[in-house]
Amino acid sequence: MATLGLTDAERESIARFEQEVINPSMTALVMLDFWADWCAPCKQLSPILEKLAAEYADKGVKLAKIDIEQDKMIAAQFRIQSIPTVYAIYRGQPVADLTNYRTEAQLKKALDQLLEKLKIEPEGAVPQAEIEPLIAMGEQVLSEGDGARAVSIFQQILDMAPDNADAIGGFARSLIAAGQWDEARTLLDGLSDDQKKKPEIARALAALEVASVPAIDTGPLEARLAANPDDHEARFELAAAQMASGDRDAAADALLELIRRDREWSDNAARKRFLQLLEAQGLEDPWSSAQRRRLSALLFT
């Protein structure tokens, strides 16, 4: 902002704005709250914003407040016509209008989306650009079947970025691949509900569910199916055993055959287990994509 011809009070207002809003926004997401002491809705919203600022501080979120009576020029620059008005500022520019979000849940959702979209990292965090190659290395080692080495790699990544969902999910799947199911379950059980909804974590949860099926002799199940191809329970149990043993192709074939014979059997159990198998493999994996096409062809023909 130009300062030529401004009063001392206006210069102070600009300096304060740069210090409290512009400068922090270079590395953090600033919730900029325009308020006034006489505004009752402002007083209702303020505790929510303060709570979220504290909760999201380690995720790169800060709160700044502009009293429109004290900083009239700043309010005029933003063309504030009603309060409370709340903007999200990043790198000196408004990136979202948060004014219509008045509940904690609504604001949380908006903040989560902004943090994900803008790739904002907490102050002092290891840059994502440094983490991604290490995660790719861990995934490569895991895909080659070396669970123990993958555990070591992902543990090192978590030491650098303990909240990284890709690293948490990869570490859990590495533990599963290394046969450390209890450790994987303890890790995943300790996560918040919000974390468990992330695709990377959901994949690990599905992988643990698939791997937790005990190994059994499939001979009796195969004999039951040979005697009665419509023994759906036997086919379902056979698919589970094949999944646990790592024979994903045979498991997929068995589940698709069950769906073909009776897609609604046991409350769509076969379809649910089939989708769980794909999630454990990774929904973006080429194998999973091919299996999804097989399922679609079966359901819509």
Residues noted as catalytic? 39, 42
Per-residue exposure over 133-164, b if at least 16 CB sit within 10 Å of its own CB, e if not:
ebbeebbebbeeebbebbbebbeebbeebeeb
Per-residue exposure over 245-270, b if at least 16 CB sit within 10 Å of its own CB, e if not:
eeebebbbebbbbbbeeeeebeeebb
Q: Is the dihedral angle over the CA atoms 199, 204, 205, 206 positive or is it negative?
A: positive
Best CA proximity match to 33, nearest among 104, 83, 70: 83
User: Can you list the alpha helix ranges (DSSP code H) found in the chain?
Assistant: 8-17, 23-25, 40-55, 72-77, 104-118, 128-143, 147-160, 165-177, 181-189, 193-196, 199-211, 219-227, 232-245, 248-261, 265-281, 286-299
Residues 83/42, Cβ–Cβ less than 8 Å: yes
d(CA 149, CA 47): 47
Q: DSSP letter at 217?
A: -
Q: What angle do CA 18, 20, 26 make, to 5 degrees?
A: 70
d(CA 264, CA 297): 16
Q: DSSP letter at 126?
A: P
d(CA 240, CA 252): 10
